[in-house]
Amino acid sequence: MKEWFLLIDPIPLKGSLNMAVDEHLFHSLPDEPCTFLRFYQWARPTASLGYSQKAENVLDREFCRAKGIDIVRRMTGGKLVLHHQEITYSIASSDLELFTTTLGGSYKRISQALMKGLEKMGLRPSPADMAPSFYARGNFPCFSHPAQDEIEVAGKKIIGSAQKRAGKKFLQHGSIPLRHDSALLKSVSLLGTSPDEIRMTSLSLALGRDVDFHWAVNHLVAGFLDFFGVGLKPLTFTRADWDKIHGLQKNKYESKAWIFPDKN
């Protein structure tokens, strides 16, 4: 049986530190098959930009500043996400046998494992069909519409994910709302009073009761174990690891040159 490394962060972290930890896991992958599975939270509401997005096209920076909402840029692609009252998962892997050689193939397998976890919670998730062209080409936030093979419950998106690949190694992370606030998302994402519907739901709304982080993570972990048939062992960072992580946080993820490159 293959063994993965598991990291469940016990306390919410600042957005820049979360992104630095995920990148460190990606860079820590050896050439031989290895997989890191992580679950974490955010210390405060944080808007994350996809790697290639122009902030002025998708984000109301003045609103974020006034409301104390942090802004980060991911190393992965995808659209704007507001991280708030959620579980975030990340998977970094160099195992082509389990995850295939393509972005689409690995994305689909991870979605299938996530759906197993949602089913264990009592939900009936399904993979979304291809997103309409207006969503793919537009500046809509991630949770305005499910993209192909993303996961929805009762026709509404419940998980939004993004991936970065380099050779046989990849990082994928995604947002799973515990609770949601579509009005706040609209304000952050420049949709404001737009009549366009935010087609998202949350674990608490879908289950009809309040759901906490640890309860949901336990079910998600069980879904990954069932689908991939692997074992888990805890991951701990050394002092050298933390030095690298904090270096990434300070020099990259808290740098205006990284977050707002179009303003340089």
DSSP 41-89: -BSS-EEEE-TT--HHHH--HHHHHHHT-EEEE-SS-S--EEE-SEEEE
pTM of the full predicted structure?
0.92
Mean pLDDT of the chain: 91
Alpha helices in the chain (DSSP H): 15-27, 55-58, 61-67, 96-99, 103-121, 133-137, 182-188, 203-207, 213-228, 239-248, 256-259
Q: pLDDT tens digits for 140-184?
A: 656 665 666 789 999 899 999 999 999 999 999 999 999 988 888
What topology does CATH give the domain 3-263?
BirA Bifunctional Protein; domain 2 (3.30.930)
Given pLDDT bands bounded at 50, 70 and 90, which one contains residue 190?
confident
Q: What is the pLDDT of residue 141?
A: 58
Type and span of the H or E element at 8: strand 3-8
Q: pLDDT tens digits for 11-42?
A: 999 999 999 999 999 999 999 999 999 999 99
Q: Which residues are catalytic?
A: 142
Residue spans of the domains in the chain: they are 3-263
